[in-house]
């Protein structure tokens, strides 16, 4: 309330405000999608999960343009696995386009440059890659207590799944706000705040040996650009399936993104000055970002320099196999998630999202998978119910 923003339900009608975030956990333990969706069915006879297995390409008939299986590396040996119905790629915004490129589906010139036989020229594969971009504003607070995480709290968690170790601390709090570049009437906030915190004995940024000043606890206020306009891309370095692709993130290449970030930083600084937080003695870490020492701290130019040199990408990569109509030159999949020009091949993950959502991608990707399940069943289930 101190900032003029309401307390909201993140799944409610209003999107602007602060909240205790819902998380995917049960009994004090994170519940991954694998734990939620695979583990309950691990005894099904039609489910086989291969560990330590890398998909190297999708098998595609170059004449009929339909997928009929995958080639994998398992225990150092190549194996072919054939599909009775269709192939589904769920490798994420980096691996799914990489597999398509290795399979000969992508921009023709790029494939030819790395000696990958072209099956289908699809210019959008690997393009439109983007991500939420964040910045860490570091503070120390007037609390030097280093004892909360001890054997007692560890036993409380191990025995009862309760106590300090069963939660995520200040990371449970998040906020969605409008900068001056966004019309608040639209209820389409352009900055999200995340929060982090470490004990006095922990490193501030995760770098080994970098401890917090004065032995105090640290708090991070983390503004994040929700609607980035910058777009990157990825491509193959060569035709070796074990070689990571070349990723060009291109963060802040669109000038509007850094403008929004600077406003988000200023809003974060004001947040630390509210009565609710002042009582904890928030002290801003003014150590200059390397490379920005000659710019006056706190100016817009300084924040621009610092944000670009201390860029903190979220793990919300999206868009590199974007959904769109076939007349969109950068569209990779149809609304049914089928790869344009290739039958019996779908992509089901964050890569199909044309514009990254206004918030975390975990729940949206699960939703995409649920919807894809319905789409796939609608094609096959009438005649082949035994497979489902």
The residues annotated with a catalytic role in the active site are 316
d(CA 340, CA 363): 26
**What long-range pairs does 68-72 form, CB within 8 A, spacing at least 24?**
68/344
φ and ψ of 14, to 5 deg: -105, 140
Q: Which residue has the tokens 């597999």?
A: 99
d(CA 101, CA 44): 32
In the beta sheet, which residues pair with residue 343? 66
Answer for the pair 67, 342: CB distance below 8 angstroms, yes or no: yes
Tokens of 165: 């170790």
* Number of neighbours of residue 80 by Cβ within 10 angstroms: 10
Answer for the pair 217, 195: CB distance below 8 angstroms, yes or no: no
Answer for the pair 281, 141: CB distance below 8 angstroms, yes or no: yes
Residues 6+ apart with CB under 8 A from 319: 93, 128, 129, 130, 231, 350, 351, 353, 354, 355, 356
Answer for the pair 196, 219: CB distance below 8 angstroms, yes or no: yes
Tokens of 89: 């790629």
d(CA 347, CA 87): 9
């Amino acid at each position: 309330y101190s900032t003029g923003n309401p307390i909201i339900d993140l799944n409610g009608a209003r999107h602007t405000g602060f909240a205790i975030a819902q998380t995917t956990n049960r009994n004090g333990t994170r519940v991954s999608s694998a734990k939620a969706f695979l583990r309950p069915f691990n005894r099904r006879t039609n489910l086989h999960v291969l560990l330590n297995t890398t998909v190297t390409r999708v098998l595609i008939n170059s004449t009929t343009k339909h997928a009929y299986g995958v080639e994998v590396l398992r225990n150092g040996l190549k194996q072919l696995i054939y599909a009775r119905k269709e192939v589904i790629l769920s490798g994420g915004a980096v691996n799914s386009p990489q597999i398509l490129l290795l399979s000969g589906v992508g921009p023709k010139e790029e494939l030819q440059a790395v000696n990958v036989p072209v099956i289908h020229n699809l210019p959008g594969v690997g393009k439109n890659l983007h991500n939420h971009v964040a910045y860490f504003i570091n503070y120390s607070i007037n609390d030097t207590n280093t004892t909360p995480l001890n054997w007692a709290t560890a036993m409380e968690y191990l025995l009862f799944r309760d106590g300090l170790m069963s939660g995520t601390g200040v990371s449970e709090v998040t906020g969605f706000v409008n900068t001056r570049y966004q019309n608040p009437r639209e209820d389409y906030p352009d900055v999200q705040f995340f929060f982090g915190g470490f004990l006095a004995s922990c490193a501030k940024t995760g770098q080994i040996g970098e401890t917090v000043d004065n032995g105090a606890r640290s708090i991070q206020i983390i503004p994040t650009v929700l609607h980035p306009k910058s777009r990157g891309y990825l491509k193959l370095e060569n035709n070796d399936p074990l070689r990571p692709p070349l990723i060009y993130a291109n963060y802040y290449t669109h000038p509007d993104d850094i403008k929004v970030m600077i406003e988000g930083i200023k809003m974060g600084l004001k947040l630390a000055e509210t009565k609710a937080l002042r009582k904890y003695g928030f002290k801003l870490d003014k150590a200059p970002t390397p490379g920005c020492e000659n710019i006056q701290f706190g100016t817009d130019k300084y924040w621009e320099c610092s944000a670009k040199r201390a860029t903190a990408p979220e793990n919300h990569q999206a868009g590199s196999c974007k959904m769109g109509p076939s007349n969109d030159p950068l569209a990779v999949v149809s609304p049914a998630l089928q790869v344009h020009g290739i039958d019996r091949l779908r992509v089901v993950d964050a890569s199909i999202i044309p514009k990254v959502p206004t918030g975390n991608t975990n729940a949206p990707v699960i939703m995409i998978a649920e919807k894809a399940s319905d789409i796939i069943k609608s094609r096959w289930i009438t005649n082949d119910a035994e497979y489902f």
